[in-house]
Amino acid sequence: MCTQRRKHEDESASQPHIKKPRNAFMLFLNEQRPKVSAEKGMKSSAAVNAAVGQMWKSLSKEEQAKYYEEAEVERRLHAQLYPNWSSADNYGKKRKRVRSRTPATTGKYAV
DNA sequence: TGGCCTTTGAAGGTT
DNA sequence: AACCTTCAAAGGCCA
């Protein structure tokens, strides 16, 4: 695996860098990704994620709401496990490509 | 071997 | 307070 996490035992033993609470799509993705990847033959997750994103739009508001509630529960669980945890665990650690990938810029990341 | 590419949501960070 | 930037997942693909 690529990310070997150079973290020493002291870090990983106490708090192995707690991930941010996943949103509704991450939950939906984790369910549909293996299915879509198998049916579509999509190897790269980027393509699968995009495809699942379209599927998400096809979901009924009740179905979508289901994931929002599940995601909300994960926030609760996260809060219970780490009441003082801030999502800034890895903020700025992974430099996401070019800064300005937000749709607010021009819909797409600045060319 | 790590970062990219990709999705939306959440949430930190900046203004 | 409002706006913007980054991580969350994650698997092939590139430098």
Q: A18-31 pLDDT, tens per residue?
A: 889 999 999 999 99
Picking from A70, A71, A39, A44, the residue whose alpha carbon sits closest to that of residue A55 is: A39
Output the six-digit token pair for A72.
């909300």
d(CA A4, CA A61): 39
The CATH fold assigned to A18-84 is: DNA Binding (I), subunit A (1.10.30)
pLDDT, tens only, A30-74: 999 999 999 988 889 999 999 999 999 999 989 999 999 999 999
- Do A34 and A14 meet the contact criterion of CB atoms below 8 Å apart? no
Which nucleotide in the DNA or RNA is closest to residue A23, CA to C1'?
Answer: B9
Coil, helix or strand at residue A20? coil
Give the start-to-end residue ranges of the domains of chain A: 18-84
Q: Count the residues in chain A.
A: 111
Interatomic distance A27 CA / B14 C1' (Å): 29
